[in-house]
């Protein structure tokens, strides 16, 4: 019997601590606006559009953090099925293999198992979004010039989590009764990155057929 979503996506399954927005800040108000739009039943293509008068960098920052939290949670539910033995290579089927590079421990693209890759990825994103020089939270502090470039790299790597989960662990998602939730999260993510051209179309190839089917 499929588990209810409350059981599947419970806080104990979170792969990393959730990053939160401070109440009273502009970023928090934007986050609330985005969440209200999501819950209103509006079309997801409309939900991702930049609200009039808002900063595009603030809008992107809010979504990058939110997607990190959501995808982190999705992978947390799959981590017991994604092991060194089942997934010795971080891949998306036979055609796509993802190697890790972070300019510190791994200076060259390095082959890792999927669990190792995911662990490195979540640590790396967490470090970036908590770095005030890249994701400033204080009023009046500007975003760095390379901000959108950094976000592109984060979102590109988060997309690879979807690739791996959909191709290698989708049976587990179905068995847990989480297919609709994961599909909605994916569609929201996909419409956002397409709206602002944040991920190269070549990176989207592994899920092209599925995307054409569920993202009309």
Give the CA count within 13 Å in the CB-facing half-sphere of 17. Answer: 7
185 in a known ligand binding site: no
151 in a known ligand binding site: no
Residues 6+ apart with CB under 8 A from 204: 159, 190, 211
Distance CA 216, CA 211 (A): 8
Q: Are 27 and 62 in contact (CB under 8 A)?
A: yes
Distance CA 24, CA 29 (A): 7
Task: Kindly state the tokens that stand for 148.
Answer: 């959108």
Residue for token digits 């929201």? Answer: 188
At 200, phi and psi to the nearest 5? -60, 135
82 in a known ligand binding site: yes
Q: Are 60 and 196 in contact (CB under 8 A)?
A: yes
87 in a known ligand binding site: yes
Which among 107, 36, 88 is positioned nearest to 66, based on CA atoms?
36
Distance CA 38, CA 85 (A): 38
Distance CA 42, CA 121 (A): 31
Q: Which residues are annotated as a binding site for Zn(2+)?
A: 82, 87, 164, 169
- Annotated binding residues, written as ranges, equal 82, 87, 164, 169
């Amino acid at each position: 019997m499929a588990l209810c979503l409350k059981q599947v996506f419970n806080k104990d399954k979170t792969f990393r601590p959730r990053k939160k927005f401070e109440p009273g800040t502009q970023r928090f108000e934007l986050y609330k606006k985005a969440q209200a739009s999501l819950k209103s039943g509006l079309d997801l293509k409309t939900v991702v559009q930049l609200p009039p008068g808002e900063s595009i960098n603030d809008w992107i920052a809010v979504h990058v953090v939110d997607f990190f939290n959501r995808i982190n949670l999705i992978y947390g539910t799959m981590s017991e099925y994604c092991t060194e033995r089942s997934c010795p290579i971080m891949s998306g089927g036979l055609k796509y293999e993802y190697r890790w590079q972070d300019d510190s421990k791994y200076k060259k693209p390095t082959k890792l198992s999927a669990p190792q890759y995911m662990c490195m990825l979540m640590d790396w994103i967490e470090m970036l979004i908590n770095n005030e020089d890249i994701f400033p939270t204080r009023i009046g502090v500007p975003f760095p010039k390379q901000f959108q470039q950094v976000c592109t790299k984060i979102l590109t790597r988060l997309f690879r989590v979807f690739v791996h989960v959909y191709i290698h662990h989708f049976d587990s998602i179905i068995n847990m009764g989480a297919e609709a939730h994961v599909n909605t999260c994916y569609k929201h993510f996909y419409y956002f990155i397409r709206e602002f051209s944040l991920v190269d179309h070549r990176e989207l190839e592994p899920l092209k057929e599925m995307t054409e089917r569920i993202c009309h």
